[in-house]
Structure formats: C-alpha cells, structure tokens
C-alpha cells in the first residue's frame, strides 16, 4: 500500500514553508532558533532534534545590582577600616607611652613633686622634670595630686645659666642593657650615660625636635627647644 504524499514535503524531501514563514524565522549558526513547524519537520525527516533557546541573563537584574552595591559598600568599609586602623595605631602608641610613664611614676617612683609658683608648671618624680602649661590627661591627673610642692624653678635657672659652657650636644641610642634603658652619648663620644627609656620616649614624643645635651654620667641630661630647657632626665645608677 502506497503512503500518501506529505503536503509539507517538496520533491527533494525537504520541508516546504511559505516566504512569510521563512522571513519570520531567526536562524543562527547552529540552527537553534527555528519556527516550531520547521523544527518538527526536520526531526521527522531524520534531522537533528530541536534545541531549547538559550536563556539570556541580564547583568542589570535586581539581584546583580544589589550584589554590586554590597560589594562597593564592602570595599569602602575596608578602606575606611584600614585608614582608621592606621590612625588608631598612632593614637594607641602615644597613649601607651603616657600610660607607661604614669605607671612608672605611681608604682616605682611613688612621688610627684610640683612647682606652681610661676606661669609654667614644673613637675618631677625625682628622675625627670618637665616645664609646661598643658600635659596629657593621665599625667595631668597625677600632677593635680602631688605628693608635695617644691621650688623647682630655681634649680632649672641654675642649669640654664651653665648649659652653654658645660653641656655637650648628644644623641640618644639603644642600650646594650635592653629595651628598658637607653644610652645618651655626646657627639664627640667622650661622655655617655644610661637613662630609663620610658623618659626619653615620652620626651621625644612631646618634643620631637628637641636637642639633647649631656655633661656627665651623674649630671642631668637636658632637652632644649629653641634654646630653652623644656625637660631634664637624671642618669640611671646601677
């Protein structure tokens, strides 16, 4: 029995479509986009099965845009945290020096001598003295509760009168005795003395441009700013 002719097939065995159908068909290199009728017909004559159209994902969907915003916010927070961490490290270091100085005064020296007879206050724990009108908060609290009041200005005036002729320019170096101590040595290398590091660390923080002068291993080491004495430290005796 003969099979009735398929009206959709041309004599060549290929599907026949109208011009309008063919114009409406969007073909690709792989033939993925075809009219449903054409795809079915191709499969019927032994052709390749029709592929599902590829799904196009927009990069501007709400989910993607939200993810971008979160990533941008995370980057900004990271930068701010990094900058803040840098600032905090500097602030922590400054606070740490003052805290250690106050601990040294309260626990080891156990004295706070203050002279308030002139405009500038002078304070001393017996190993360091400093002139000033304002001090770090923690130190100011100790100064406000002195163990005794005493004239220190007279002693400083005497040092000031002798500093030019008797004291030599010096530099502060690390000591072989460890981190607790520093070595102060004259620039000509002839005079040196050992001091407790906490005092020179504090003074360097307070007066970073100060010049240091030394006379001997039992005389005060003085710190000058613009030629004026701002502080002195006594050498440590072992």
- How many structural domains is the chain composed of? 2
- Whole-number Å distance between alpha carbons of 108 and 226: 32
For residues 221 and 116, membership in a common domain is answered with yes
Minimum mean pLDDT range among 60-69, 151-160, 201-210: 60-69
Q: CA of 88: how far to CAs of 77, 91, 132, in Å?
A: 16, 5, 26
Task: Please give the residue range of the domain that contains residue 213.
Answer: 106-233
For residues 138 and 212, membership in a common domain is answered with yes
Answering whether pTM is above 0.85, one says no
Beta bridge partners of residue 192, listed in sequence order: 185
Q: What is the pLDDT of residues 21-53, one digit of tens each?
A: 555 554 544 444 444 554 444 444 454 545 555
> What phi, psi does 173 have (nearest 5°)?
-125, 165
Q: What is the pLDDT of residues 141-200, one digit of tens each?
A: 999 999 999 999 999 999 888 887 899 999 999 888 788 999 999 999 999 999 999 999
For residues 127 and 226, membership in a common domain is answered with yes
- Tell me if 10 is assigned to some domain: no
Find the helix packing angle between 62-103 and 197-206, rounded to 10°: 120
CB atoms under 10 Å from CB of 168, counted, come to 15
């Amino acid at each position: 029995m003969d099979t009735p002719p398929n009206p959709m097939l041309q004599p060549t065995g290929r599907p026949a479509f109208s011009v309008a159908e063919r114009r409406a068909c969007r073909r690709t290199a792989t033939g993925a986009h075809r009219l449903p009728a054409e795809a079915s017909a191709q499969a019927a004559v032994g052709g390749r099965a029709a592929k599902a159209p590829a799904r196009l994902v927009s990069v501007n969907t709400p989910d993607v845009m939200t993810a971008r915003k979160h990533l941008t916010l995370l980057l900004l927070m990271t930068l701010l945290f990094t900058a803040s961490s840098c600032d905090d490290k500097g602030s922590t270091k400054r606070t740490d020096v003052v805290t250690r100085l106050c601990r040294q005064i309260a626990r080891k020296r156990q004295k706070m001598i203050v002279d308030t007879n002139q405009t500038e206050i002078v304070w001393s724990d017996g190993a360091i003295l400093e002139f000033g009108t304002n001090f770090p908060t923690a130190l100011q609290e100790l100064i406000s509760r002195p163990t005794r009041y005493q004239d220190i200005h007279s002693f400083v005036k005497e040092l000031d009168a002798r500093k030019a002729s008797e004291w030599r320019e010096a530099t502060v170096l690390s000591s072989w005795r460890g981190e607790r101590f520093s070595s102060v040595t004259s620039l000509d290398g002839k005079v040196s003395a050992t001091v407790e590091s906490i005092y020179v660390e504090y003074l360097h923080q307070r007066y970073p441009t100060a010049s240091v002068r030394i006379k001997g291993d039992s005389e005060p080491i003085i710190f000058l700013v613009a030629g004026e004495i701002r502080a002195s430290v006594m050498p440590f005796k072992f």
